[in-house]
Amino acid sequence: MVKVRGEEIKRRTLEILKDHPEGLSIEDLARLIKAHRQTITKYVLELKGADVIFRRRIGAVTLHYLKERYGNSGD
């Protein structure tokens, strides 16, 4: 059952990042997905390891972005 929840969190993360090309923090993702930030961090790192998303540190905040090849090609 945990695996299904994890796959759902990853799917939602990708959907949300696709809608937010400006990037989102872990806290933003946690609020939008309605999950604990540590849970979101776990799956964001899995997606980063799979080379689907990338992170950029801007000041005190780390923003997460969907890699271009996984977003809308028409945008």
| Of the candidate ranges 3-7, 21-25, 39-43, 70-74, the one whose mean pLDDT is the lowest | 70-74
The sign of the dihedral angle between the CA atoms of 69, 72, 74, 75 is: negative
Q: What is the mean pLDDT of residues 10-34?
A: 97
Query: By CB neighbour count within 10 A (0-12 exposed, 13-18 middle, 19+ buried), where does 75 fall?
Result: exposed
- Residue 13: what pLDDT? 97
Q: Output the 3-class SS for the chain.
A: CHHHHHHHHHHHHHHHHHHCCCCECHHHHHHHHCCCHHHHHHHHHHHHHCCCEEEEEECCEEEEEECHHHCCCCC
* pTM score: 0.85
- Render pLDDT for 35-72 as a digit per residue (tens, 0 to 9): 999 999 999 999 999 999 999 999 999 999 999 876 64
Q: Is the pLDDT of residue 73 over 70?
A: no
- Domain 2-68 fold: Arc Repressor Mutant, subunit A (1.10.10)
